[in-house]
Chain A
Amino acid sequence: MARVWAFLTNTRGGARLHWTDWASYAYLTLGIFLMFGPVVWLVMSSFKTEADLQRYPPTFLPYQQETVMVDGYDDPLPLFLMTGGEYEGQVLAQLRRVGLQAQMIDPENPTERLRVTIDQREPVDRIALATENYTDLFERFSFLRYFWNSTFITIMATALMLLVNSMAAFALSKYEFRGRTTVLLLVISTLMIPQTVVLVPLFLIVTELGLFNSLWGVIIPGAATPTGVFLLRQYMLTIPDEILDAARMDKASEWKIYWRIILPLSAPAIAVLAILAIMWRWNDFLWPLIVLTQSENFTLQLALNSFQGELQTDWSSLLAMTVLTLLPIACVFMFLQKYIATGIASTGGK
């Protein structure tokens, strides 16, 4: 035990832990709790039944009340443990509750009806996952529709963005032509025009193009990004021109050079941009909110937002849907954490 402790408190330099080290670990532990806690709580809650969600104070683990099938009754009856009165210690099934009284029966002896007051009993619970919260999503809501819309937008927008931005980056990194500096400045200046400040005219243009209430109205306007062009251009600048010249000697067309040489060689930068694009598009909210007004076109984000208004009390479906919405991004994160970190650090975000 002492050796384990010595190992744990050992720092790389071999010195003992200073009080600042303790403070650091305390801060980081608090960080785990504060950053992961809410998401863990959400996931646990999403497996609770509607009745369990109403429980106050709430429990960490999801519980369900035990039920029992009794001869002569079609539905399963909830079980209660009697904590007082003449049946103390017995487990009874409830038939119905009337005010402060409840009609119970003994499952062993279902003919006799017993009358008890409700403060003399407590429910018999067991830990159980309410997976019906999830299955309900597919039956009661057009969840798959929203999921498909989100997926379609994310994939198409990412592909389009990669193609368009890498073509521009190729031109800006590998060609000497008049006006190159002007184009570079134009691209930079679009940094100053975030979607949020041109919502009204953007809406007109998208409507005029017939893209209002169409998924393409969300996909196309964001396809060209200054961030994407610059990220790829910086990377392509590091590819030696000699490779291109050699290919030209072999009579390769410029297009072939672009997609057979430049694109494969820029794969790391393209991967980073792809991950960022997937993240932005999957989580996009304001522009889809304006363009997609019919519920069959909703993305998951829009559906979640509109349901939280409508289903104020139906938290069980809402929580399950929230979990399913964050799941794809969580998976991407787990596998590609390193790339995401480098990508964000090198582009400075959007």
Chain B
Amino acid sequence: MLSLISPLMRIVEIPMLALQRLLGMNKLAWVFLAPNLVLFGLFAFLPVILNFSYATTGGDNVLLADRPDVGLRNFVQLTDCTNHFDPNSCREDKFWRAVWNTTWFVTLQVGFMVGFSLLTALILNRDIRARGFFRAVFFFPVLLSPVVVALIWKWILQREGVLNAFLDWTGAGGINWLVDAGWAFAWSVFISVWAHMGFYTLILLAGLQAIPRDVYEAAIMDRASPWRSLTRITLPLLAPTMLVVLVLALIKGVQTFDEVYAFTGGGPGTATTFIIQYIYERGFAGAPRLFGLAAAASLLVALVLILLTLVQLWLNRRNVDG
């Protein structure tokens, strides 16, 4: 591998040296930055601008020149409801179903995830044996691909799967989990907590280990009970990390798509259709391809994400300056 890269790097050195002589050392920085900036420009900033053009044009043509201007009609179509809490009263009912599904999903998923991550991190931070092993146990589903996670659980939950066999054996009786809207939604929350919990546990554990030991020693000197040192020392000192975890989980939760799409396909009906799936289906999955609606919905999602990211950056501000 290295023998392949070395000559390549030497060839690149020739034009780079010429540029260095031409521009001087400090301007050369722009040459080093160029590939990255071109990629950012082409695949991040340009799309943001174009997204506005798509959102204000109609038709199913992908070329902007062939798309008729419709003004704000896409947004009107998306938000036209007599009662926003009742998707049935909306012109674009699927959008509102996705919005409310996502809201519920994010609330439950983030709540359970932060709760269980905190519990797990607190336990892993205790004086236990084989901590590295247990940390790995909780972490490893993070590495599994969303499709693999979905298939693993689909196999367990199928009608004649192992969970139903167990329930039959206990006498409770099996349930057709993914055919029932409520259960499918609950399991979607479950598998996404299962798959991502380890990641947040890791961050919280790092936060717990950053709390200085002597604070606890002082608490023991003062004969504080373990419960008291948990609620009065650990949790307050962990609060900043908790906040970071919360915001990160919200940002990712809003964008949930992969594992649930592979798991339920958004169904039954639209019970587990989330906002990114709505965008995918309007823009790419079916004919006609309503790019305008998809882009308008993307902009609304972007608005939420930008707010959340700003909070995240503000929380992390010490890490980025300088």
Contact = CB atoms under 8 A, between A and B. Distances in A.
Given A177-B27, A258-B32, A197 B155 contact: no
A172 B320 CA distance: 12
A85 interface: no
B255 A200 contact: no
B43 to A, nearest CB: 4
Contacts of B35: 163-164, 167-168, 224
Contacts of A329: 143-145
Contacts of A305: 147, 262
Interface in A177-223: 177, 180, 183-184, 186-188, 190-194, 196-205, 207, 220-223
B29 A171 contact: yes
A308 B144 contact: no
Contact of A203 (B141, B161, B283): B283
B195 to A, nearest CB: 10
Interface stretch (B47-55, B95-103, B107-115, B211-219): B47-55
A188 B309 CA distance: 10
A332 B145 CA distance: 13
Contacts of B28: 175, 254
Contacts of A134: none
Q: Is the interface of A mostly helix, strand, loop or mixed?
A: helix
B280 A290 contact: yes
A253 B20 contact: yes
A144 interface: no
A38 interface: yes
Nearest to B308: A192
A255 interface: yes
A224 B36 contact: yes
B284 A290 contact: yes
B152 A340 contact: no
A27 B322 CA distance: 43
A41 B284 CA distance: 35
Contacts of B12: 255
A330 B143 CA distance: 8
Given A57-B168, A193-B47, A333-B143, A253 B16 contact: yes
A333 B198 CA distance: 13
A344 B35 CA distance: 25
Kindly state the interface size class of chain B when it binds its partner: 35 or more
A120 interface: no
Interface in A300-350: 301, 304-305, 308, 315, 318-319, 322, 325-326, 329-330, 332-333, 337, 340-341, 344-345, 348-349
A164 B36 contact: yes
B206 interface: yes
Q: Is the interface of B mostly helix, strand, loop or mixed?
A: helix
B40 A190 contact: yes
B145 A207 contact: no
Contacts of A322: 148, 151-152
Interface residues of A, number: 99
B30 A177 contact: yes
B199 interface: yes
Given A168-B36, A186-B40, A322-B152, A341 B202 contact: yes
A130 B250 CA distance: 43
B264 to A, nearest CB: 11
B295 interface: yes
Given A39-B152, A315-B155, A325-B147, A224 B165 contact: no
B298 interface: yes
Contacts of B128: 21, 24-25, 28
B162 A41 contact: yes
Interface string A3-41: 000000001110000001100110110011011101101
Contacts of A32: 134, 137
Contacts of A164: 35-36, 39
A28 B144 contact: no
Contacts of A31: 120, 134, 137-138
B59 to A, nearest CB: 13
Given A168-B33, A253-B13, A196 B148 contact: no
Given A42-B155, A164-B39, A200-B51, A56 B148 contact: no
A49 interface: no
Contacts of B169: 57
B152 A197 contact: no
A171 B154 CA distance: 48
A256 B13 contact: yes
A341 B134 CA distance: 13
Of listed B36, B37, B138, B145, residue having the most chain A CB within 10 A: B36
B145 A283 contact: yes
Interface string B272-286: 000010011001100
Nearest to B255: A196
Contact of B309 (A184, A191, A230, A237): A191
23 contacts: A45-B155, A164-B35, A167-B36, A175-B25, A186-B37, A186-B40, A187-B36, A192-B306, A193-B47, A194-B305, A196-B257, A197-B305, A198-B50, A200-B291, A201-B53, A201-B295, A204-B64, A223-B39, A229-B36, A255-B17, A283-B145, A322-B151, A330-B143
**Top 5 closest A-B pairs, CB basis?**
A201-B50, A198-B47, A224-B39, A283-B145, A168-B36
Given A13-B127, A58-B160, A196-B279, 9 more contacts: A20-B126, A167-B36, A168-B33, A176-B26, A184-B320, A201-B48, A254-B20, A283-B144, A304-B148
Interface of A: 11-13, 20-21, 24-25, 27-28, 31-32, 34-36, 38-39, 41-42, 45, 54, 56-58, 163-165, 167-168, 170-172, 175-177, 180, 183-184, 186-188, 190-194, 196-205, 207, 220-224, 229-230, 234, 237, 253-256, 258-259, 279, 282-283, 285-286, 289-290, 301, 304-305, 308, 315, 318-319, 322, 325-326, 329-330, 332-333, 337, 340-341, 344-345, 348-349
